[in-house]
């Protein structure tokens, strides 16, 4: 499937990547800066999502409180009507 030169190149690359020194260099020089860059890009969106979620929780508790107060309060129409005396 692959040419012998390509297989040779892949084998040497795999052997190099198994070296702990090379792994450490890749982590320090490529992965950590990339992850830090992504965090810097996404941080404002995470803050916005947290604020929106907090506001949603406050609104839901307010609506729930208002429903409980309205249901548990006095009825709007009296159950007994006073008849006028003549």
Residue 32 included in any domain: yes
Please give the residue range of the domain that contains residue 46.
Answer: 4-67
Under 8 Å between Cβ of 17 and 23 = yes
Mean of per-residue pLDDT scores for the chain? 88
Q: What is the pTM of this model?
A: 0.54
Q: What is the pLDDT of residues 19-60, one digit of tens each?
A: 999 999 999 999 999 999 999 999 999 999 999 999 999 999
Residue 10 included in any domain: yes
Residue 80 included in any domain: no
The pLDDT score that the predictor gives to residue 65 is 92
Q: How many domains does the chain have?
A: 1
Residue 81 included in any domain: no
Residue 84 included in any domain: no
Where is pLDDT greater, at 74 or 61? 61
The pLDDT score that the predictor gives to residue 1 is 75
Residue 86 included in any domain: no
The pLDDT score that the predictor gives to residue 2 is 79
Residues 6+ apart with CB under 8 A from 15: none
Residue 21 included in any domain: yes
């Amino acid at each position: 499937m692959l040419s012998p030169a390509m297989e040779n190149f892949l084998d040497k690359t795999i052997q190099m990547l198994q070296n702990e020194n090379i792994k450490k260099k890749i982590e320090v020089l490529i992965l950590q800066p990339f992850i830090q860059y992504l965090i810097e890009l996404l941080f404002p969106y995470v803050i916005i999502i947290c604020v929106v979620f907090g506001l949603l929780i406050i609104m839901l508790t307010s609506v729930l409180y208002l429903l409980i107060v309205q249901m548990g309060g006095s009825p709007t129409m009296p159950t007994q009507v006073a008849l006028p005396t003549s």
